[in-house]
Structure 1
């Protein structure tokens, strides 16, 4: 082909990503070359950059959220909706490829737990053919088995890009256990997972949606997404937060809670805020972050609560998140607070690390 692609490579943890020109190889059967139009800079990318995610295989092209345009295609490929794909189509793809044949895929129908799941920008090294295996680059090669969604060229790719990660993972949680209409729902954390949680809770008909967070800007954004009560943990102590929530819930606690931050102390607080027979969905832990102590009698059995962990997502959930965004484009546009050029990727990681951005997106 003779073309080269600029990509930014994670070679050493906690050090700046390094630019590299990579020769674009010939496509194998059922692969496609895609020009990146938007690459999401996820909070989990920051953890990966710091070396906190055990799945990484250095050197890496990070970036698991992508929207792009097909440049070359080898094979008669179709979207999940059965539409034919061709050069020039705008697409979004599911970030993971599950094998379809292991116990978790074939027997349990839980492809997110696949033992051989390949994930762009997370567990495929830059050294593994076809090399362009992440979205922090001008191009990516989507390998055989990738599930594809065709999108409108009029839609802003930056707004859609989060459907493939924070949106899909949140959708997975709500797909397993959904709050009942008229439930009082608590969301811990006003980042992208928290914002998607607010939007999904609103779509489920929740009566009240309470959000706990430390950023007034992010909390106010949650109100625009549908939150009815915001509690700033920088201004209210843990006891004050509990008193407010108990007063709102007839001294019972919330019906349904979503942990959306990935910090053990949030999990500990959430257990105290759920009513007996309530439900707790934990979505925020993308990597090991420590442990908490809890009392099996007081916190779990005597309260008769349900606790559901959520690990990544499947194509079904990307579909759900994409449709949620498409139905609320003006709202989700507010989530994209920072846009960067590809060569500003290290600055994009910095603003995500410092929580200056709600969501940063690279626009190559």
Structure 2
């Protein structure tokens, strides 16, 4: 069988269509026809060579939903259900070693230093090649954890759970206390920020505030958050004043950075109440250091700062459940759809922030 894929052969150059032949696969492998591939903001950074993990050549795309073509031997999903041809599935984009300290002792598998990720650090140079989602088909290696999906939900909608959704759930899962009754401020209204906002509200947050600079994205967010603040219309001081008004002059219980920009932390610390929690979820590539006032921002306020890195399989399941229960909301997140051969246009669309969520759809 032969399948086409869009390949990044050199950083900073357009992706090129290539064809790969699939022959014998290892026992436990699953050959999957791609139904939807999310175009993540990190794909833009990867294509430019800004992610130190990435080799070339590589098939980009770490967010995928597909239909099973072939199962080599026996394969069960994480619920113990056998995987068969024609099943629709989603999978954990990362493969961990299950042998290191983080996998075996700390029980923080997503922090495994040996973690391999589809579309990020797995080259297509070597067989079985199809290790990214910008492709007509994907080979899921025996170690990959998969989840069967209902045929009722649109693949281009449920794919939002794969990366930003799972990362959002990892962030909220790291909180020491339930969200019930809490005021949450989310910095950023991209797919990650909006997923966090929807999930926080779903899990009981009393007030969810989002801060962003895109009118289009803010208009989508307004439908399911309590307060939206446009950083292009309100100064940083005005935004802080609004948050203090909402919180009886205390500040937010939880602030979540979902902008991808370390500079956002400088505002975020000032929006947080004493004893509050700051979750940093969006910074995915190396950036310049920021000035940090340890006494004023950390010690005096007694805050907790939590870095959030990728996700584990349980977070993927949580994200799938959130999307499935609120599919109408998440349908609105997918604002742009592309064909496989339009992958370069999709990346440009995401880079220019024209799309809230862009998806390569194969149906």
Partner of 2:206: 207
Q: Where does structure 2 lack aligned partners over 5 or more consecutive residues? A: none
Aligned to 1:74: 72
Q: TM-score, normalising length from structure 1?
A: 0.97
2:182 alignment counterpart? 183
1:337 is aligned to 335
Conserved? CA contact 1:192–1:358, under 8 Å: yes
SS of residue matched to 2:274:
strand
Question: Displacement of 1:106 after TM fit?
Answer: 0.4
Name the structure 1 match of 2:102.
Answer: 104
Q: Is the 8 A contact 2:179 2:200 kept in 1?
A: no
- CA distance, structure 2, for counterparts of residue 217 and residue 170 of structure 1: 21
Contact kept? 2:29, 2:139, Cα under 8 Å: yes
For 1:46, which of 44, 47, 64 is the aligned residue?
44
Give the distance between the partners of 1:174 and 1:180, measured in 2 at CA. 8
Question: Which residue is 1:116 aligned to?
Answer: 114
Alpha-carbon shift at residue 222 of structure 1 (Å): 1.2
User: Does the CA contact (< 8 Å) of 2:194 and 2:221 recur in 1?
Assistant: yes
Match of 1:144 in 2: 142
Going from structure 1 to structure 2, the CA distance change for 1:179 and 1:210 (only over 3 Å counts) comes to: farther
2:324 aligns with one of 326, 339, 344: 326
Aligned residues: 361
Deviations along 1:93-149, whole A, 9 cap, x unmatched?
A: 110011111100000011111121111101000113211110001011000111111
More moved, 173-182 vs 58-67: 173-182
Q: Output the CA distance in 2 between the equivalents of 1:290 and 1:338.
A: 31
In structure 2, what is the Cα distance between the partners aligned to 1:11 and 1:270? 38
User: Per-residue deviation at 1:290?
Assistant: 2.0
- Displacement of 1:31 in angstroms is 0.5
Displacement, 1:204?
2.1
Q: Is the CA contact 2:36–2:159 (under 8 Å) kept in the aligned structure 1?
A: yes
SS of the equivalent of 1:124 reads coil
Helix, strand or coil for the counterpart of 2:81?
Answer: coil
Dislocated runs of 4+, deviation >6 Å: none
Aligned to 2:220: 221
Is the counterpart of residue 234 in structure 1 residue 232 in structure 2? Answer: yes
Once the two structures are TM-superposed, the CA of residue 162 in structure 1 deviates from its matched residue by: 1.7
CA RMSD of aligned residues (A): 1.0
